[in-house]
Amino acid sequence: MNVTELFASNVFNDEVMKNSLPKEVYKSLRKTIDEGEPLDTSIASAVANAMKDWAVKKGATHYTHWFQPLTNLTAEKHDSFIEPSGDRVILQLTGKSLIVGEPDASSFPSGGTRATSAARGYTAWDPTSPAFVKEGTLYIPTVFVSYTGETLDKKAPLLKSMTALDLQAKRLLKLFGVECRKVATTVGPEQEYFLVDREVYDRRKDLILTGRTLFGAHAVRGQELEDHYFGSLKTRISEYMRDLDETLWSYGIFAKTKHNEVAPAQHELAPVFTTTNVAVDDNQLTMELMKKVAKKHGLVCLLHEKPFEGVNGSGKHNNWSLSTDTGLNLLDPGENPENNPRFMLILACVIAAVDTYQGILRASVASAGNDHRLGADEAPPAILSVYLGDQLGALVDSIVMGRQYVPKKAIPGSIGVPESPIFPIDTTDRNRTSPFAFTGNKFEFRMLGSQASVADPNIVLNTIAAQAFSEAVDALEGAKDFGKACKQYTEKLLKDHYRIIFNYNGYGPDWEPEAERRGLLNNKTTADAVPEFFKQENIDVFVKQGVYTEKEVVARAKIQLENYVKTIRIEAKTMAEIVKKDIYPAVVGYTEKVCSAISAKRAVSEKLHCNADMVLAERLSRLSDQLMSATEKLENDLAKVPDPEIEASKEMAHTIVPDMEEVRAYADELETITASSAWPFPTYVDLLYSVR
Ligand code: ADP
Ligand code: MG
């Protein structure tokens, strides 16, 4: 296979556009893509026609407006290219059908922004993300808005947040005499996932219905040997990864790194970074294809944040940076950050933004699944903090403390093996425990859950950075001595927001009390985190930056809570059903067997030893009683959960989740004393070691 030929072969990319569009049309479209110029609708027909011709050659018969409603998934409705022409058909894609679509919006979450009777919703072409052909259909990336103009998707606000950031970053750069046409944010999301054998998966109702295991005693062997991380790939896994890479490449997705992760059966895939909205589309497509390709290999790809208790869960690291169209990375400190006022101001703005808006940044990654990860010793805590590394950390410390800064130079290092080359050792080590870590020339936001849409946190990041930039420009524009004013402003930001900087172990036990002392937020559950969006100052930042209206912010937060409540309700119901229909009957059957063994032995002779049987029978029946009462309590509490999202979410977090933990504890203990042959479904060992 020729990778360079395969790459992007399913994408209507720049090269294809250039070759298939009239020169003027191509130029005008490029202007829209590169500089955010409004689309000249008169060129739509020409683009549509070229796109259709290209897609048909690739075997497409249909097209779809592909969009990202307020779920974590994508949505599509397929129309064929067929138009009647006399008694024959022609294949057609009109300019209008390229630009707008009109799916019925009534069944997508809108958080009350739209009455159900007003079902009208529009999808509008997003020319900045390339169209592609998949399984006989031309996919046209679109944004999704309601009849009254409210956005109903994640893409529209993401694009608005990118525009806001572009505008404010350009204003800021102008102060430094840097001119450019565009500042774009770039994102490279590292995606973690689990792979399990399909046959084993098919026998786990909890995995099928909820994406995670609701039961399961810890495997006798988990990740304690630390032998899976970066371990050699099993043949079946490496065949899967190869197939996945090739599939992703054909869609123009820069899949780059792949390796085993910490937990058994856990893996990671990282792409090369790209413009944020393309990265978001690519990640959605990646998640979908990960699942599809797995099927072909008799595997199931689990994207849930916590499929298994007792081993690591899965996250998605959001590497985020800002670059100009001239190729300047604004988060690149250069050799001497201490003499780079532009970098220092931008850094200080980002730090200030993360501190000021820590509540909504945390809330942007809140979900039922992610609640199991954050703060659980494997992922950053639910507290936001910023890690700067040794070099920048020392520089910022010296600015805040008013001390002289002595730069630490990158020293030429060698790994101590005579044959190995000399190379510069990085000035900053990695800190895997920080939720928001500076890593060389980008920030890595590590709080995202593995199945989340990358759009959510980036909408917030872009918006709050834009706000901090605009405040900086407002304060510095027209300053008599710009250099001095800039230095003072940077210092003030760093001093005012110093509390958010934490360069030590975020998993350590001292951090929580220390964070509390600093006044940092620690919203542990989705129910606690999401209401941050209702605070006026947080609503205001979205409104000011033109990303959301107040109504939209509130609606989205409500949908997020509603989603959380629904997820936990499904989990709780699934749990109760599995207890009553599978676990309890199995344990009763096994207890009966143990009791019959006791009677049988007694029938032979009073002298036969029955102690162990008696103890076992007693424990089995006691635990199954406890299991049933805990399940009853769970069901009763669930029936009492009120309707409104905010109250319901609190009830879920603080009553239902603990109830579920109790049910699970009894069931898991029962698993450890019930014969394997009697247990109704595969165990953790079966699942985690299912792929050989
Ligand atoms: P690691 O974190 O494993 O050291 P890298 O730092 O090389 O790996 O990159 C991790 C991810 O960060 C990759 O997806 C990469 O594309 C992305 N990345 C690198 N540079 C940037 C950037 N300027 N903007 C956004 N993402 C970036
Ligand atoms: Mg990384």
Secondary structure of 275-337 in HEC code, one letter for each residue = EHHHHHHHHHHHHHHHHHHHHHCCEEEECCCCCCCCCCCCEEEEEEEEEECCCCECCCCCCCH
Unique residue bearing structure tokens 């049933």: 628
Provide the pLDDT for residue 563: 95
Distance of CA 426 from the midpoint of ligand 2 (Å): 15
For the chain, the domains span: 3-153, 164-189+316-548, 564-689
Note residues around ion ligand 2 (Cβ under 5 angstroms): 317
Largest CA distance in the chain: 104
For ligand 1, atom 6: residue with the closest CA: 439
CATH architecture of 564-689: Up-down Bundle (1.20)
Ligand 1 contacts CB of residue 186 (under 6 A): yes
pLDDT of the residue at 206: 98
Q: What is the DSSP letter of 533?
A: G
In the predicted model, is pLDDT for residue 429 greater than 80?
Answer: no
pLDDT digits 0-9 by tens, 18-61: 999 999 999 999 998 888 788 888 899 999 999 999 999 999 99
Per residue in 358-380, pLDDT tens?
A: 999 999 999 999 999 986 667 67
Give just the sign of the alpha carbon dihedral 114, 571, 529, 317: negative
**Can you name the residues that pair with 80 across neighbouring β-strands?**
62
Q: Is the CB of 187 under 6 A from ligand 1?
A: yes
Residue 107 predicted with pLDDT over 90: no
Tokens encoding 581: 């229909």
pLDDT at 423 over 50: no
CB 438 near ligand 1, within 6 Å:
no
3-state secondary structure of 274: strand
CA angle 290, 205, 135 (to 5 degrees): 30
Name the class of domain 3-153. Answer: alpha beta
Distance of CA 270 from the midpoint of ligand 1 (Å): 8
Identify the nearest ligand to the CA of 191 by its number. Answer: 1
Could you tell me which of 692, 679, 651 has the C-alpha nearest to residue 215?
679
CB-based contact 356:464 (threshold 8 Å): yes
Sign of CA dihedral 208, 209, 214, 215: negative
445 lines ligand 1 (CB under 6 A): no
**398 CB within 6 A, ligand 1:** no
User: 201 with 308: CB under 8 angstroms?
Assistant: no
Q: Is 271 in the pocket of ligand 1 (CB under 6 A)?
A: yes
- Give yes or no for residue 301 CB within 6 A of ligand 1: no
Mean pLDDT for 653-670 is: 98
Instruction: Give the pLDDT of residue 40.
Output: 86
Residue 692 confidence class, pLDDT cut points 50, 70, 90: confident
Ligand nearest to the CA of 269: 1
Pocket test for ligand 1, best of 185, 260, 442 (most atoms within 8 A of CB): 442
Nearest atom in ligand 1 to 317's CA: 11
The residues facing 35 across adjacent strands are none
pLDDT of 413 higher than 70 = no
pLDDT digits (tens, 9 = 90+) for 220-269: 777 766 667 767 778 899 999 999 999 999 999 999 888 888 788 999 99
What Å distances lie between residue 245 and 251, 270, 319, CA to CA? 10, 11, 20
> What pLDDT score was predicted for residue 385?
96
- Smallest-distance ligand from the CA of 188: 1
What the block records as the tokens of 602 is: 């007694």
Q: Please work out whether the CB of residue 442 comes within 6 Å of at least one atom of ligand 1.
A: yes
Distance from the alpha carbon of residue 252 to the mean position of ligand 2, in angstroms = 22
CA–centroid distance, 490 to ligand 1, in Å, is 27
Q: What would the pLDDT profile of 566-625 be if each residue is shown by its tens digit?
A: 999 999 999 999 999 999 999 999 999 999 999 999 999 989 999 999 999 999 999 999
Q: Evaluate: CB of 381 within 6 angstroms of ligand 1.
A: no
Which residue in 635, 626, 624, 687 sits closest to 659, CA to CA?
635
Quick one: pLDDT at residue 22? 94
Query: 414 alpha carbon to ligand 1 midpoint, in Å?
Result: 24
Q: Residue 115 has what pLDDT? A: 59
Is the CB of 279 inside a 6 Å radius of any atom of ligand 1? no
Among 273, 316, 432, 461, say which to mutate for ligand 1: greatest number of ligand atoms within 8 Å of CB: 273
Residue 154 has pLDDT above 90, yes or no: yes
